[in-house]
Structures are given as C-alpha cells and as structure tokens.
Amino acid sequence: MPVDDPALPRSAAEPAEESPSGRPAFEALQVDSSTLDYAELFDATPSPHAVFDRRLVLVEANAAFCAAAGASRGRLLGRSLPELFGADDPLGGDDAAALRVARSMDGVLASGAPDSLPLLRHLLPGRGDDGPAARYWSLLITPVRGAEGTVELLLVRADDVTGLVRDAEVEERPTDVVEVLHRGVLAAEVDIFARANELEQLNDELRSSRDQLAARVLHDPLTGLLVRPVLTEQLSTALSRLARHPHPLAVLFVDLDGLKQVNDSLGHAAGDELIRRCAARLKAGVRPSDPVARFGGDEFVVLLEDLDDAAEAEQVAGRVLQTLRAPLTLAAGARVRPSASIGIAVATGPDVTAEVLLSQADAAMYRAKHGGKGRVEVYDDSAHAAADARRTLEAELERALPEGQLRLHYQPILDLSTGATYAVEGLLRWQHPTRGLLAAADFIELAEDSGGILEMGAWAIGEACRQLAAWDLVLGEHSPPRVFLNLSVSELLQPHLDERVAEVTAAAGIDPARLVLEIPEAGMLEELGTRSGVIDVLSRLGCQLAIDDFGMGYSPFGRLVQMPAGILKIDQSFVKALTRSPEAPAIVSAVLLMAHNLRKTVVAAGVEDSAALAALQEMGCAYAQGYHFSEPLSAQDYTELARRPDFDSFTAALVAGAG
C-alpha cells in the first residue's frame, strides 16, 4: 500500500540512519549498491562529490565530501541546501556561499547546461584560531537527465583550491586585502585550468556512473519499471494539464494475488521471477505511452491519459487481467496462473492531487481484493469506507493474539453407523471487543495477506493439543479421539513445523497421531509438489493429514496417489447439493469409491438436514459433520455436552435421524 517517500528531506533533528552497507541514499533510491562498481568508484574519487535532487536535497555524498564537511554521511544525507548551510549545521552558517550555490543549481535545473563557480569563498564557523576559517572551492555542477530527458539530479564536484589562494597571498603581501584576493582568484583559476586535463579522465569515468545512477534512481531494479516518485510526479503533471485539455485520465492500482504463497512455497527467487514476468505482461497490456511503475512488493500503478471516458479505463483493466491470467512456468518448475486485483480512480479536472487519486485507486483495489480477488473495481465513496474499515480491522487483528481474543470452537465429527465421536474439528474464532464473536471467514483472508496467519496457526496447534489433554482428564472415554485443524499452504511450508508440532504434542502429553492437519486441495498442487518433504516428516512424526474441500481443486489422480494424506473431506457444496442436484450424488459416490480403492478415510462436511445424512449413509460414507449434528461449540460447551449421562444415546439418535 502507499508508503512514505524515502527521499523526502529530513530535518536536522532527524539525521539519516546509516545502513549496514553504509549507503542509505542508494537504498532509499532503490539502488542495490552491492552489485554496482560505480558505487566504489564514487567513494574512491579523491575530490569531494555530491548528488542533489531537484529539490536541492542531498541524496548521496562520497567519502571526500564527508571529510571536507567534517560530518558523517548519516548526518549529511536527506538535508536540503539551506539546512546544510544553517548556523548549526555541517557546512556552517555562510548565507552568502549558500546563496551562490543555490543560484547556480537553479540555473542548471532551468537551462539543463552545466555551470561552474571558479572560486567560492566559504566561512566555516569555529574552525579557525581567531574565529571563522575561510576555505576556497571550485565547483562544477553537472545536470543528470532521466529517461524522459528532464533534469532529475545534480552532480556537484568541489575542488579545494584554498592552498592555491594561500600561495598567492604568501608570494606578495599587499596591504589591500581585496587585491590579495583578486590575485588569488587569478592564480587559482590558472591552476584549475592546468588541472583540467587531469580531472577530465575522472569526469569520463563518472559520466558513465552518473548515467547508471540516474537509471537506477528512476527505474525499479527488479522490473525495469518506473519507481513511485517518478510516476507520482508524472501524474501531478498530467493532472495540471487537465485544465487546458479536459480529457479524463485514470490510475490503475494493480496488486498481484497470491505472491506470498509463491514466496512461502517456492522461495523468494521464484516470487521475484513472478513479479518480473507479471511486470512485463502488465507493460505489454497497455499502450507504449502509458507510464507503468512498481510501487513496491507486488503493487503496480498504471497512468492512463487522454481517455474518451471512464469506461475506457475499465476496458484497459479488463485486458490487463486477461493478460496476467495466462499460465506460466517458473524456473523452479512450478506452473502457476497469476491473478491480480485492480482498483481504478478517474479524474476529469485538476482539482484532485496525485496523492488523493492514488489513495482512491488503492481503496478501490482493496474492495476488489475483498470481493474475491481477480476483479476490477472503480472508486466511489463506499470503496474508501471499505478500505478504511479493512485497515482498522487489520490493526485490531494485530492485537487479537497478544490480547487473548482468539478462540477455538469445536464441531463434532460422528461415525454415521454408531454415532460415536470420531473427532472434533477446531475452528478459529475471534472474540472481537466490539463486534462480538467473528467466524474465520470474517478475518482469515486478512490474516493471510498480513502474514499474521503464521502466528495464529502456531497458537491454534498448541491450544488444540492443550485442550485435548484437558479433555482426557475430565471426559475419560468420551474425550475426542483426535482433533482436526486447518492449515494454509504457507503455514504447512514454514521451516521446522514438524519440530514445533513435536514440541507442543510432547508438552501437552498427547500422541501426535491424534492431531489431523487439514490442507485445502488447491494447496497441494504445484506448491506441495516441489516441497513435499515437510509432509513426509509430519507423517513420520505420526500426524495424520487430510485434504480439505476435496472435489474443488481438480487434483491430478497421480498426485493424489502420491500424497501421504489418509483422509479426504468432501467439500460441503457437494453435500448440500445431494438432494438438489443430479450431479452431486454421482460426484460423492465417485469420491467414496476412489477413496475405498486407495484405502483412504472419507469425511463429509456440511451435513445440514436428515435427507443429506440419509443419502450419505446409503452411499456408505463412514463419517460426517455439520449443523444437523451440532454447531461449533466452545470448549466449555463441548465439555458439558460430552458429560451428559445420555451422551452416547444422544449422538446415536442423531445419526439415526431421531435427534
């Protein structure tokens, strides 16, 4: 989502932090200095060199510049020119020097041509024995152009010519100080030109480095797309043109769906490859003149100008979605089908700022993602309200676990022939402080997007094991034999999951075989095919594995045979349709027959009426769960139910249809 621009100037009270690599400006400008020879060349240059942006903010300085200023890079970077020459700042309070430099820089920005200050007298307060110390510098200010041909940066070379001026003073000591300075100027200029040939070679080397730096500043190193500040400036310019050319423009805010799952299952190299290839598809899906930027992570923005109407932006977004959805095979061997959620914001006049329009498109994207992903939404007031509500809920969800607001509720899974409890399924709930008890469907997607699902999953495994041990003490033979828990692919592929499971089961004193980990069928395709070692380890540990929502993921039969999952859970949509759709009974019967031949246990989910129960029993299904038997219960409510004297006859009556 939108983040603060790292290149904004800091005040003197907020010096730039030194990074481990010592190159904060390069990192802030999204440059990977570890791979660039010019970074070392820049630092090794004996003359002080610095880079300023269009706002005259210092964004890079070499070691010689820092030494001349008598301040660390961390103290210098991020300061504007007036701040650098402030009374309490690194370069001292010399307003005259600051004014000359600022005028020269402004002239270079306006003309696009280099400029020089052959002799700049600069007073450094407190550095002389009798007061301010004067030093003399020769400055060369060179423009650095971006891809669009506009001046984006200023490269400043500062040569210390104080010694030359001092030599001129020693040779002749006239009483007129002005004359001494005048002679010093002449001598300094002569020596500077004499050294021009020596410095020209260095200039040639730096020119290539400067061009590379400009490209890196303006373009994302991973995708080659524009970076956020560049597109934001282009959007501001485009909005200002609407006063003269009132054709609608639009912003598409594109967020890839499922990147985190690819990172978790295949590694970050595969995730980066997916980003690069989707970026190329995105660029190919719009006009060559349409700017496309990567805003960070899996977020992209497209600027569409000169539209006939707002509907044209929706058509472009639709084409982009279609382009992105084509399957692709990553270098890791996995075949994925990319998807994205796109938000659109339209402007018809210059009365909206770039930041507001981007925020609107971002809000529309959130609504598209919340509505099921792989969608396009156009901004309106309700989209902003939905985005605000999501951000609020995300902040509240971050506090849910540490503040003890999460719960597990348990739904019985019954043996359809006897009514005995085969297992219970632990279902995550959130006891929201103002909205009451929320089902997982209300927050689990948000937890997955934010990464909080990993901590929640770890808590759920530990809580289920502790509760199972507690039931063993109070319920005896009526304690559930096993507990089912849902895991996402990202949870299942976390490093050392098997070690954590072994620790919590041992701490609770329960057999790992009583823990059944459910994974969605869709999650066992390419992801688990490339990294199934953890599943084998869990199986050897003794945990059982179940494939949830079976029938919805179109799993290849061969993959199903290979997977060490001993339990299949038929998706509840098929169970609910047993008495309403002629295809549903055929699908359920086929699953039961296949499971029988593969020696796998089948659990039917979503039994809500006696007709569905009777159909399952007639087809030979062994186990089922659903509201026809019981809603998910708190641990205390389940304890009270299982302690009923007639518990066995009660559950037997449920499967007999007499409950």
Q: What does the pLDDT look like over 153-181, one tens digit per residue?
A: 999 998 887 777 676 555 444 444 444 44
State the helix-helix crossing angle for 196-218 and 37-44, rounded to 10 degrees.
Answer: 140
Domain count, the chain: 3
Q: Is residue 658 in a domain? A: no
Assess whether 557 and 427 both reside in one domain: yes
Give the mean model confidence (pLDDT) for residues 448-453: 80
Q: Comparing C-alpha atoms, which of 92, 135, 100 is closest to residue 117?
A: 100
Query: Residue 58 has what pLDDT?
Result: 92
With 80 as the cut, is the pLDDT of residue 192 above it?
Answer: no
Residue 89 near residue 79 (C-beta atoms within 8 A): yes
Query: Residue 527 has what pLDDT?
Result: 44
Assess whether 144 and 210 both reside in one domain: yes
| Residue 651 to residues 130, 412, 418, 496, 547, Cα–Cα distance (Å) | 98, 10, 8, 39, 26
- Tell me which of 542 and 382 has the higher pLDDT: 542
Question: What CATH number should be reported for the domain holding residue 479?
Answer: 3.20.20.450
Identify residue 207 by its one-letter amino acid code: R
Give the mean model confidence (pLDDT) for residues 325-332: 86
Give the mean model confidence (pLDDT) for residues 262-281: 85
Q: Is residue 573 in a domain? A: yes
DSSP letters of 214-256?
HHHHHB-TTT-PEEHHHHHHHHHHHHHHTTTS---EEEEEEEE
Under the banding of pLDDT at 50, 70 and 90, the label for residue 145 is: confident
| Burial group, residue 129, by CB count within 10 angstroms (0-12, 13-18, 19+) | exposed
Under the banding of pLDDT at 50, 70 and 90, the label for residue 386 is: confident
Query: Residue 557 has what pLDDT?
Result: 55
Assess whether 284 and 426 both reside in one domain: no
With 90 as the cut, is the pLDDT of residue 82 above it?
Answer: no
Query: Residue 487 has what pLDDT?
Result: 85
Give the mean model confidence (pLDDT) for residues 440-452: 84
- A 10 A CB-CB count for 396 gives 18
Q: What b/e string do you get for 93-124 counting C-beta neighbours within 10 Å, with b at 16 or more?
A: ebeebbebbeebbeebbeeeeebebbbbbbbb
With 60 as the cut, is the pLDDT of residue 126 above it?
Answer: no
Query: Residue 308 has what pLDDT?
Result: 86
Query: Residue 16 has what pLDDT?
Result: 39
Q: Is residue 11 in a domain? A: no
With 50 as the cut, is the pLDDT of residue 588 above it?
Answer: yes
**At which of 361, 393, 425 does a domain end?**
393
Assess whether 339 and 358 both reside in one domain: yes
Residue 214 near residue 150 (C-beta atoms within 8 A): no
Pairing between strand 131-145 and 115-128? antiparallel
Query: Residue 598 has what pLDDT?
Result: 85
The Cα–Cα gap between 24 and 138 comes to: 27
Question: What CATH number should be reported for the domain holding residue 193?
Answer: 3.30.450.20
Which single residue is written with the structure tokens 């002569």?
190
Under the banding of pLDDT at 50, 70 and 90, the label for residue 601 is: very high
Query: Residue 522 has what pLDDT?
Result: 57
With 90 as the cut, is the pLDDT of residue 419 above it?
Answer: yes
> Edge-to-edge, what's the strand order for the sheet holding 115-128?
58-61, 49-53, 151-160, 131-145, 115-128
The Cα–Cα gap between 405 and 260 comes to: 26
Under the banding of pLDDT at 50, 70 and 90, the label for residue 451 is: confident
- Tell me which of 345 and 71 has the higher pLDDT: 345
Domain span at 291: 226-393
Query: Residue 638 has what pLDDT?
Result: 97
Residue 250 near residue 238 (C-beta atoms within 8 A): no
Assess whether 65 and 92 both reside in one domain: yes
Assess whether 358 and 240 both reside in one domain: yes
Give the mean model confidence (pLDDT) for residues 39-47: 79
Q: Is residue 8 in a domain? A: no
Residue 553 near residue 584 (C-beta atoms within 8 A): no
> Each residue of 622-645: pLDDT tens digit?
999 999 999 999 999 999 999 999
Query: Residue 409 has what pLDDT?
Result: 97
Under the banding of pLDDT at 50, 70 and 90, the label for residue 137 is: confident
Residue 60 near residue 42 (C-beta atoms within 8 A): yes
Top-confidence range, 35-39, 194-198, 369-373:
369-373
Q: What b/e string do you get for 328-357 counting C-beta neighbours within 10 Å, with b at 16 or more?
A: bebebebebebbbbbbbbbbeeeeeebeeb
Query: Residue 247 has what pLDDT?
Result: 85
What tokens does 337 get? 């089908």
Strand (E) or helix (H) holding 293? strand 292-296
What tokens does 542 get? 């003794």
Question: What CATH number should be reported for the domain holding residue 353?
Answer: 3.30.70.270
**E runs forming strands in 4-111:** 49-53, 58-61
Q: Is residue 124 in a domain? A: yes
The Cα–Cα gap between 346 and 235 comes to: 12
Give the mean model confidence (pLDDT) for residues 211-232: 82
Q: Is residue 33 in a domain? A: yes
Assess whether 104 and 164 both reside in one domain: yes
With 50 as the cut, is the pLDDT of residue 383 above it?
Answer: yes
With 60 as the cut, is the pLDDT of residue 299 above it?
Answer: yes
> Each residue of 533-583: pLDDT tens digit?
556 666 777 888 888 877 654 455 555 666 678 899 988 888 988 888 888
Q: Is residue 5 in a domain? A: no
Give the mean model confidence (pLDDT) for residues 586-615: 90
Assess whether 435 and 551 both reside in one domain: yes
Query: Residue 18 has what pLDDT?
Result: 41
Assess whether 553 and 599 both reside in one domain: yes
Q: Comparing C-alpha atoms, which of 555, 621, 551 is closest to residue 581?
A: 551
Calculate the dihedral angle through the C-alpha atoms of 498, 502, 504, 508, rounding to the nearest 10 degrees.
150
Assess whether 80 and 115 both reside in one domain: yes
The Cα–Cα gap between 527 and 188 comes to: 69
| Residue 300 to residues 1, 64, 228, 254, Cα–Cα distance (Å) | 10, 38, 9, 5
Assess whether 586 and 469 both reside in one domain: yes
Calculate the dihedral angle through the C-alpha atoms of 111, 115, 121, 123, rounding to the nearest 10 degrees.
60
3-state SS class at 606: coil
Residue 490 near residue 453 (C-beta atoms within 8 A): yes
Q: What b/e string do you get for 203-240 counting C-beta neighbours within 10 Å, with b at 16 or more?
A: eeebeebbeebbebbbbbeebebbbbbbbbbbbeebbe
Q: Is residue 209 in a domain? A: yes
Give the mean model confidence (pLDDT) for residues 189-213: 58
**At which of 183, 218, 253 does a domain end?**
218
State the helix-helix crossing angle for 453-475 and 497-508, rounded to 10 degrees.
Answer: 30
| Residue 75 to residues 61, 175, 253, Cα–Cα distance (Å) | 11, 41, 36
The Cα–Cα gap between 143 and 407 comes to: 61
Assess whether 441 and 478 both reside in one domain: yes
Identify residue 33 by its one-letter amino acid code: S
> Each residue of 349-381: pLDDT tens digit?
888 999 999 999 999 998 888 877 889 999 987
Backbone angles phi, psi at 299, to 5 degrees: -110, 135
Of the chain, the end-to-end C-alpha distance in Å amounts to 52
What tokens does 480 get? 């559930």
What tokens does 482 get? 């096993």
Which single residue is written with the structure tokens 């993959």?
559
**At which of 393, 424, 440 does a domain end?**
393
